[in-house]
Amino acid sequence: MPKEEESIKGIIEELLSRLNVEGRVEFLETADNLQFTVRTREAGLLIGEGGENLISLNHVARKMVEKKVGKTRLPFSVDVNDYQKQKMEELKDLARMAGQRVRFFKKEVALKPMSSYERRIVHSVLTEYPDIITESRGEDPQRFVVIKPFLGS
């Protein structure tokens, strides 16, 4: 593991120690991200309700890395027991099912309000359907995606 990744892993391990959470940190480099996954029996504490604690954990880890290492060459994220990975797959499945519903019934479907990151995933997944279009509507934090049949120009 390169030095920078090793430093980030050490900082995450230090953070877990300060939180009195036992866990193992795994590392995976993807095309656009450094992914650190914490494997622990205390996942509920680190994830929190709706992933709120996990968002905070990522924020604190980034601040600690910036202070100790400086800017990293790639963005990184911290996941716990593949929570974010599973949530992303569920979101992709939801987007595909809604897209199929729009294609079949030829009526628009509005999804529940989502974060900008989640909306970006929905828009991205549905680019594979040339006969539907997506758009975001509303104001944060109630902004949501609408999926519509493409009626041509």
- Sheet containing 24-29: give its strands across: 24-29, 34-39, 76-80
For residue 133, the cross-strand partners are 148
Report the alpha-carbon distance of residue 108 to residue 96 in Å, rounded: 14
In this structure, how many other beta carbons lie within 10 angstroms of the beta carbon of residue 114?
19
| Tokens standing for residue 129 | 């359907």
Q: For residue 78, give the amino acid letter.
A: V
Residues of the chain with CATH 3.30.300.20: 3-81
Map residue 137 onto helix, strand or coil: strand
Report the alpha-carbon distance of residue 129 to residue 147 in Å, rounded: 11
Q: Quickly state the pLDDT bin for 117 (edges 50, 70, 90).
A: confident
Q: What's the pLDDT score for residue 73?
A: 64
Evaluate whether 78 touches 61 at the Cβ level (below 8 Å).
Answer: yes
Residues of the chain with CATH 3.30.1370.50: 86-149
Q: For the segment 49-105, what is each residue's pLDDT rounded down to a tens digit?
A: 988 999 999 999 999 998 887 776 668 999 999 999 999 999 999 999 999 999 999
Report, as an integer, the average pLDDT of 97-126: 95
Evaluate whether 104 touches 129 at the Cβ level (below 8 Å).
Answer: no
Domain 86-149's class?
alpha beta
The topology under which CATH files domain 3-81 is: GMP Synthetase; Chain A, domain 3 (3.30.300)
In this structure, how many other beta carbons lie within 10 angstroms of the beta carbon of residue 13?
15
Q: What is the reported pTM?
A: 0.78
